Structure 1
């Protein structure tokens, strides 16, 4: 009887990892992936603009200028273009590790200085447009999905798709024609604006209107469509039926239950677009002569200015990589399914 009551010895429990060990591994994996992606951007930029890019930059720089072959060779040696491609790559990587992206062929200034100089106008224009387009697109997507098939849904979706399919430069020129003299046609401020802060701020805001409206009209459809699709997938979920059965008003069901869960897919797009903020908008900045990174990219392509193009590509790629990394980390905080995986 006693032997029958003796229970079998239980196998030892598997060793438990340290608290937070899974989180540390997750973060370390994402950081490693981001580092590899950034290295790939550096290599791709060098190969694209130093090996694949057609033509000789020295010949382009001396175009329509009297320059002998000896002078061209001297310029090529001063720019380091007479060295082998592996040697040029090692010099480029060594400079990047010290924060040196080289010297611009066109402006004869450090590439880092030119990028920092144009970064502020781009953040102002594209950052403002992205924030406003996100708010507008998410709001229209939520309202349209909740009233699926209504006149509001069909109208808002149709207008968004029409504007999204329109060429950006064409839409910008249409706005210039339609508004006439109401808003400035280019630049970021007038040269004769008084130097006080209020006058400068009003002048910049006046110049900001047309390019900002152009960008909003083109990009807000992405947020609308993603938010609408995500919310439609949540409409028939069991937890919404339970919330309605508890007597919650329809607005509360949408705001407290449906929208927070539908926001997760849209959040990835938001972070991706925030990473693209730094890259500017080449067509819009060119049409409106906005002195940002987009216009700087256009000028670098015209030259061609290889160090400036390489530096811009590293900055653009790095911004997208960092924002994707932040989105992945925030996903783990907001979505329990990611933490459990």
Structure 2
């Protein structure tokens, strides 16, 4: 019973922390984007003859003529009821726009997260178990290089080499977008997969490097443990010692990173989606920032941050199940 009470106290503290974080996101999401240079009304009417009366009418329509404190209270009240407002440029509810773009982002980043988490965990464990060898030095060097490379730069490099083509090497993949045309069935699935190759490769290259390095460091910390020596003394094979003893104890730091990566599934990668013209939430966020479309950027910011907070909360709630000492 004492263990259950300790776990419930742990859960209560983490839930309270998540609620405070969401409140901070709500406040930050309002004031952060108010300091972005630019007048949404002037940007939206650029190139169109507009009188001062028409500009004032648009400001009243968007609620930009209200005092800042009034805008803030209305924003908080609407957000707490699930109303994210109306997009300035698309003239559509922000919630509907998010729902429309979410599947494309989930498809792209979901596939990438699964791939680089699996690859990073497997390679991180193997390289740590054989640390100091040629394979360890090679994989660690590649991972350090890729982790330090900006994702948008890597994406542009892949477009130049594998989409446009270099010298006699022809372009093999599309330069952007999600599909080529009106196709259906299996042909459409193949077309979408063809368009996904380069953006997924970009996300996997950077993500697997981070996962590998964190998992490698965690396993190395566990390798000097007495419990591993005891397991070997019992006659367990090296692979069993690694799989059944070292890896489970090394997972705690990696679990946090994996859950954070799952939070990125909702956020997508703004830079990668923009570089590859992927029609997801990242590209939508970039479009909204250019105006700035305040209701849209605020709604997306809340969704991105909320997904990260939720995934961190789930990781915190899972910790005591992996290691009961965390809840004490």
Q: 1:140 Cα shift? A: 1.1
**Could you tell me which residue of structure 2 aligns to residue 319 of structure 1?**
307
- Tell me, in whole angstroms, the C-alpha distance in 1 between the residues paired with 2:3 and 2:209: 43
Q: For 1:147-296, list aligned pairs within 5 A.
A: 147-180=130-163, 181-193=171-183, 195-196=184-185, 198-296=186-284
Q: For 1:33-72, list aligned pairs within 5 A.
A: 33-50=17-34, 52-72=35-55
How many residue pairs match? The answer is: 321
Question: Residue 227 of structure 1 aligns to a residue in which SS?
Answer: helix
Which is greater in Rg? 1
Match of 1:310 among 282, 295, 298: 298
Question: Please, which moves more after superposition, 312-321 or 179-188?
Answer: 179-188
- Tell me, in whole angstroms, the C-alpha distance in 2 between the residues paired with 1:296 and 1:98: 23
Q: TM-score, normalised by structure 1?
A: 0.91
Q: TM-score, normalised by structure 2?
A: 0.94
1:30 aligns with 2:18: no
Q: 1:216 Cα shift? A: 0.5
Match of 1:134 among 117, 125, 144: 117
Structural RMSD (CA): 1.5
Question: Where does the alignment leave 5 or more consecutive residues of structure 2 unmatched?
Answer: 164-170
Match of 1:90 among 56, 73, 80: 73
**Could you tell me which residue of structure 2 aligns to residue 123 of structure 1?**
106
Question: Residue 278 of structure 1 aligns to a residue in which SS?
Answer: helix
Question: Where does the alignment leave 5 or more consecutive residues of structure 1 unmatched?
Answer: 1-16
- Tell me, in whole angstroms, the C-alpha distance in 1 between the residues paired with 2:140 and 2:175: 30
1:206-242 per-residue CA deviation (whole Å, 9 max, x = no partner) reads 1111100011011211111111111111111100011
**Could you tell me which residue of structure 2 aligns to residue 7 of structure 1?**
none
1:109 aligns with 2:97: no
Question: Please, which moves more after superposition, 169-178 or 238-247?
Answer: 169-178
Bigger relative CO (Cα 8 Å, ≥ 6 apart)? 2
- Tell me, in whole angstroms, the C-alpha distance in 2 between the residues paired with 1:57 and 1:175: 35
Q: Structure 1 residues 310 and 259, CA, compared in 2 at 3 Å: closer, same or farther?
A: same
